A and B are shown apart, each in its own frame.
Chain A
Amino acid sequence: DAKTTQPNSMESNEEEPVHLPCNHSTISGTDYIHWYRQLPSQGPEYVIHGLTSNVNNRMASLAIAEDRKSSTLILHRATLRDAAVYYCILRDATPANNAGNMLTFGGGTRLMVKP
């Protein structure tokens, strides 16, 4: 399975943008890039996902490098509620390889937001 590398932790100031990096140098053509976050004492929460093009939704933006070997999750204006562990995950979309659409979580990045 393709793996991802993320910094263990990052700090941000409230109301400033946050860029969370993820390296996935062994990504294959059928791997989707997913981001989930986990707030303290809660289950993970879906944030965003993409394949090749940049993606935007109400929670965040996902910027994918042209060679797809890295991506960046962008929170446009961090709030205290965004303090969480953010997981960058590669999901193999090939039915033969991943019939169950399984997600493989790594260690994630712990984001701390300062008021």
Chain B
Amino acid sequence: DAGITQSPRHKVTETGTPVTLRCHQTENHRYMYWYRQDPGHGLRLIHYSYGVKDTDKGEVSDGYSVSRSKTEDFLLTLESATSSQTSVYFCAIRRQGADEQFFGPGTRLTVL
């Protein structure tokens, strides 16, 4: 168990509202990632972080922002949610020098 939790686990919101998803880790790993997964598809990277206040964009970053003010928390924000952002969001962590990523349980977000 890599000590990753995501909150909330489920959320239903309306178009145009802001939404923040939280990823929390207990092992002080340097790298953290946010992915989204849509039905029948693999995961796509949204943003990642390589340290406190250090973030970079992934494949599908439009409409999303992230923040990492402390090692253990990586926040994903949808400033104004749209129906196309309905998805399952997974957070992952990676220890520096290691190759494998460990994934959280996911957050199912529905934007009506």
Contacts and interface: CB of A to CB of B under 8 A. Distances in A.
12 contacts: A32-B99, A43-B90, A43-B104, A44-B103, A49-B99, A49-B100, A87-B42, A99-B50, A99-B56, A101-B31, A103-B43, A107-B40
Interface residues of A, number: 20
Interface of B: 31, 33, 35, 40-45, 48, 50, 56, 58-59, 90, 92, 94, 99-106
Which secondary structure dominates where chain A touches chain B? loop
Contacts of B50: 99-100
Given A100-B56, A102-B45, A102-B48, 4 more contacts: A32-B99, A43-B105, A49-B100, A107-B40
A104 interface: yes
B71 to A, nearest CB: 16
